[in-house]
Amino acid sequence: MTRLQSIKGMKDILPAGAAIWQHAEYAARRVLEAYGYREIRLPLLEKTEVFARSIGTQTDIVGKEMYTFTDRDGDSISLRPEGTAGCVRAGIQHGLFHKQQQRLYYFGPMFRHERPQRGRHRQFHQIGAEAVGWEGPDIDAELIALVARIWRELNLDEIVLEINSLGDLEARNKYREKLVEFLSTRASQLDKDSQHRLRTNPLRILDSKDEKTRNALADAPSILDSLDSKSRDHFESLQQHLRAFGIPFRVNPRLVRGLDYYSLTVFEWTSDRLGAQGTVCAGGRYDGLVEQLGGKPVPAVGFALGIERLVELVSNAVKGPENPDAYMVTLGSAARRAGMVLGEELRDAGLRVVCHCGEGSIKNQLKRADKSGAHVAVILGDDELASGNCIVKPLRGENKQVTVQQPDVLAAVSAFVGTSNSETDKETNR
């Protein structure tokens, strides 16, 4: 009998890790809501068509990475590989974009059948934001400033911003032709993948890691030279906004996005502490997508932030799970019952209390109490039960234990928790 194992690329997040996730997640939520973004909760499954029509059938995501299957009704459905498509579908379906503007965000798992490696799993999680109904570039800049604030909230200062403009659909198509023309004459200098992309997704050749290909691109035409004047103004204004915000950035004319729906503004935040998958947040403008999915044409801009990657950056800068305030040590069945009731009363007052359950000598129970990280142990045995008091024993610092009447337990515990908090926080922060 072989032991059961999780599916390849699907990770369990154990309690210690979950604490960091919560920390990162809530920081992001706080910031998003500070900018007026509101949460939208979306299905994990959509009709395959939702993704095929938005992300593009030529992309690897749709072509070979989606979890697609036929359900019992014979419909082709897919686990979502990203969030934007479903968000736009929902907005159209419920009329959210009808003569309205929406700042939306979502959070949750995405699925892509890729070969797992560092920073890339088959089930991974994203925080996404979509601002629908504004042409920008002010909203684009605000969106980027929002992300910068998330980094600040989490004390991350090594994440670098790159921006680019792909122009509108027309300019982008024109540039694509120019690039293909340029590269076709030197196709032999390209790596194999790029030769293939010349036919499928030529813009992606621009951010190839292959050295030969990069050399061949040395004096390729820049997309920024192909921009029409409107797109150029849009991009220039975005940069002015960012300078006004004091957000450092680098213009990278080679920066492109893998998904088909982007136009005008694209941006990417990367860290060199993440191995090969350095992009922690990326996004851009997708003015054509709402119409493409059957809505009236509405401009939109958004980003997706990879939580696993974020957590990896945050993990050494954050404290562990919240420790309990008190650990209830009880000796004998009568004391056990009284102690558990006392625990309820302490929780009523807002404390975190762990009651010892199961067997255990006082020694054993105090050992557990220490291990739990609790600030104090509350000890209740036959003697205490008989005299209506109990012992409150601080486990951190130099204070001595005290015996108090049961109605005074809350005050005694609170006193110790208050005095030892700063000290233990320092401990756990290291």
What residue ranges bind RNA (CB under 7 A)?
5-6, 8-9, 59-61, 65, 82, 112, 114-121, 124, 126, 193, 197, 204, 208-210, 257-259, 268, 275-277, 279-282, 304-306, 308-309, 331, 361-364, 366-367, 369-371, 379, 381-384, 391, 393-396, 401
- The nearer residue to RNA, 65 or 153, going by C-beta atoms, is 65
Nearest distance from C-beta of residue 99 to RNA, angstroms: 29
- How far lies 158's CA from each of 23, 56, 155, 314, in Å? 19, 33, 9, 11
Q: Which letter does DSSP use for residue 58 in this model?
A: T
Nearest distance from C-beta of residue 188 to RNA, angstroms: 18
- The nearer residue to RNA, 72 or 371, going by C-beta atoms, is 371
Nearest distance from C-beta of residue 22 to RNA, angstroms: 18
Cα 170 to chain centroid, rounded:
33
Q: Quick one: which of 374, 407, 373 has its CA closest to 390?
A: 407
- The nearer residue to RNA, 101 or 279, going by C-beta atoms, is 279
- How far lies 383's CA from each of 332, 349, 361, 390, in Å? 11, 26, 15, 9
Nearest distance from C-beta of residue 390 to RNA, angstroms: 8
Residue type, 16: A
Nearest distance from C-beta of residue 133 to RNA, angstroms: 21
- The nearer residue to RNA, 30 or 212, going by C-beta atoms, is 212
- The nearer residue to RNA, 61 or 264, going by C-beta atoms, is 61
Nearest distance from C-beta of residue 72 to RNA, angstroms: 26
Cα 30 to chain centroid, rounded:
13
- The nearer residue to RNA, 195 or 237, going by C-beta atoms, is 195
HSE-up of residue 203 (Cα within 13 Å, Cβ side):
24
Strands (E), 200-358: 250-251, 263-270, 279-285, 300-306, 326-330, 353-355
Task: Note whether 373 and 395 are within 8 A (CB).
Answer: no
